[in-house]
Amino acid sequence: MSNKHLEKSVRQDIYEKIRDDITFGHLLSGERLTEKKLSDIYKVSRSPIREALRQLESEGLISFERNKGIEVAKLSIKQVEEIYDLRELLEGYAVRVAIGKMTKKDIAFLEDLHKKMMKAASSGDTQLWLHNNALFHAFFREMADNESLCQFIVILRRRIYRYQYVSVSIPRFFETYIEHHAMMIEACKVKDVNLAEKTMKNHLRKVRDVIIASLATSRTQLI
């Protein structure tokens, strides 16, 4: 591998590591970061760190503030609302496009994911739930076969993913989420585009409301 390709590989690897550490809460909202700190954590020089930070800033995962430096971006309740409003539109559209292309094999794939999520819910395994839930949503955007649509949805999901733990931290809502997924699968079986889109939008709106209610409560308790 040439030095140029090696440098690009290192930059991409560091970008993905920092991105995932933000996404999964290893680097917390509001946490101060420095190039030196990140260089020490990931055992690389500052050059790939610097380039990774530029990309992460463009995706809204970190922010640069004068006299404060770099920090993991914090999302306001308004921003959470805006992101979920966009997800409703984009993922609802993805369902509309995808449903006409689905085969019996695709339905079986969704049903298998649904069973795995029910099992995760019954055992309280939030990691397994989130993994299979991500695959469930990814199916529709990938089946839509629209690269720009897919990129926009992925960026929005990355910005909000760390808050998805909140949406599954209250066990009673698993039952609602499972019901929504089952309704989507049934709508896909009978090619009911309007019902499938409506259900996806309702599902995302419910998740949004759970996250916002939890954030509002936690911030009130800090006052």
Give 71-92 pLDDT, tens digit per residue. Answer: 998 888 999 999 999 999 999 9
The residue-averaged pLDDT of 208-217 equals 88
* Separation of alpha carbons 175 and 212, rounded Å: 19
Question: Are 140 and 149 within 8 A, CB to CB?
Answer: no
Task: Name the range with the highest mean pLDDT among 9-18, 63-72, 141-150.
Answer: 141-150
Q: Torsions phi, psi of 170, nearest 5?
A: -110, 100
pLDDT of residue 221: 42
In the predicted structure, residue 208 carries a pLDDT above the cut 90: yes
pLDDT of residue 67: 77
In the predicted structure, residue 43 carries a pLDDT above the cut 50: yes
- Chain-centre distance of CA 130, in angstroms? 9
In the predicted structure, residue 167 carries a pLDDT above the cut 90: no
Whole-model pTM above 0.85?
no
pLDDT grade, residue 222 (50/70/90)?
A: very low
pLDDT grade, residue 147 (50/70/90)?
A: very high
The CATH architecture that domain 3-72 belongs to is: Orthogonal Bundle (1.10)
Number of Cβ within 10 Å of residue 6's Cβ equals 10
* Separation of alpha carbons 57 and 59, rounded Å: 5
- DSSP code at position 190: T
Residue ranges covered by each domain of the chain: 3-72, 77-222
Among 88, 102, 124, smallest CA distance to 185 is for 102
The residue-averaged pLDDT of 131-154 equals 95
In the predicted structure, residue 93 carries a pLDDT above the cut 50: yes
Among 57, 13, 7, smallest CA distance to 33 is for 57
Among 18, 17, 15, smallest CA distance to 71 is for 18
pLDDT of residue 223: 36
pLDDT grade, residue 215 (50/70/90)?
A: confident
Question: Percentage of the chain surpassing pLDDT 90?
Answer: 64
**Residue 96: both structure tokens together:** 């509309």
Question: Is the CATH code 1.20.120.530 the one for domain 77-222?
Answer: yes
* Separation of alpha carbons 40 and 153, rounded Å: 32
pLDDT of residue 23: 76
* Separation of alpha carbons 170 and 110, rounded Å: 24
pLDDT of residue 26: 84
